Amino acid sequence: MPNPLQYNKKFDELNEEEKKLLEINKKTIADFVEQSSSISDVNYATRNAHAKTYAVAKGTFRIEPDIPELLRPFFDKEKFDLTIRFSNAQLKIKNSKKDIPAYGFAVQIRDDNGGLLANYPLVNFPLFPINSVPTFLKLFTAVNMFYIKKWSHLFPILIQGIKMIPSLLTADMARNVIKLMGKRNDFILSFDYYSVGAYRLGDLIIKIKLCPRNVDRDTGRKKKIKESLTNYLKIHDFTADVLIQICYDLKDQPINKLNVEWKNSPYIKIGEVKIDKDSLLDSRNCTNELLSFNPFESKIFFQPVGKIQKLRDEAYKVSVQTRRKINKLLHGKGVEK
């Protein structure tokens, strides 16, 4: 096996044009969050992405006893405490029976003293359809403005959508879209979940995959997703294997090309996530809505890597700051989610 590639901050650096577009985008994120309660018709400010919470639960991360020696310095305990949020990727909360199958499995890892070690917002699709930072920022800005000002900003979305087409035309993207469509009605806990972009593990660069064990894909098929998920977690334990890939060569494991899968890097099992039955928290409580799963709040040696990931840092900060400011005011008046 070749030597792992070492982390370099150059993987994350934005140019001047990208920095200017990011500042514009951050303003629209704040505007969206400020108006999000009316956009989604709820009595609290929502997130700028993955706004809809299905459930929040406590869990544990148990470490494999025979993980490779290379990884042992990062896992000095047998288990870690987790807070897990299940969500949908849409910006607007809709009270519908069937949401689009774009699910989130966000994991927060803490130490014995309750200190934050890492946040990992995982999703049920392994790729990201945009590699160009300017295209992503212009599209995200246009989408925010569309929700705020409606149809007057539809044309910019269409323009940036057209620019996305080349990055959608990869074999990996086509294969995973077909796979997702085949599973579109499956139970939320039967999906694999992925980090999409890369993360640091000290000086290593990794991707993460979470694979549920023994979950029936037909569970709750005739029920709303939130209902089927909460009912399942009340009476069943949930277990999923945690696997990682290590970056050895940018040709086979590209960091800033998110529309292709990593090749020639075998998955290594490092542990398992466990949610004991009846470990649900009250997702309606405003305290849980104020939770942040920003991966850049993690310890420095667990943080995301890459230019698209760097954009998420600023986006999370603006979204969280605006959302917390509004919701703390609401919470002070006795309003709960």
Question: Which of the four pLDDT bands, split at 50, 70 and 90, describes residue 152?
Answer: low
The confidence score (pLDDT) of residue 77 equals 87
- Enumerate domains of the chain plus CATH numbers: 9-332 (2.40.180.10)
3-state secondary structure 34-62: HHHHHHHCCCCCCCCCCCEEEEEEEEEEE
The confidence score (pLDDT) of residue 283 equals 65
Q: What is the pLDDT of residues 235-279, one digit of tens each?
A: 999 999 999 999 999 999 999 999 999 999 999 999 999 999 999
Contact 144, 24 (CB under 8 A): no
Beta bridge partners of 199: 206, 304
The confidence score (pLDDT) of residue 164 equals 86
Q: What is the pLDDT of residues 171-188, one digit of tens each?
A: 999 999 999 999 999 999
The confidence score (pLDDT) of residue 336 equals 38
Q: What is the pLDDT of residues 72-108, one digit of tens each?
A: 888 888 999 999 999 998 877 777 667 899 999 999 9
Looking at 212-306, list the stretches that DSSP marks H as alpha helix, in order from N- to C-terminal side.
225-235, 286-289
Q: What is the pLDDT of residues 192-226, one digit of tens each?
A: 999 989 999 999 999 999 999 999 999 988 899 99
Burial of 127 (0-12, 13-18, 19+ CB in 10 A): buried
Q: Which helix (H) or strand (E) holds 174?
A: helix 171-182
Question: Which of the four pLDDT bands, split at 50, 70 and 90, describes residue 151?
Answer: low
Angle at CA of residue 301, ends 297 and 306, nearest 5°:
80
Q: Is the dihedral of CA 323, 117, 77, 210 positive or negative?
A: positive
Which tokens hold the place of 253?
Answer: 């494991």
* pTM assigned to the model: 0.89
Average pLDDT for the chain: 88
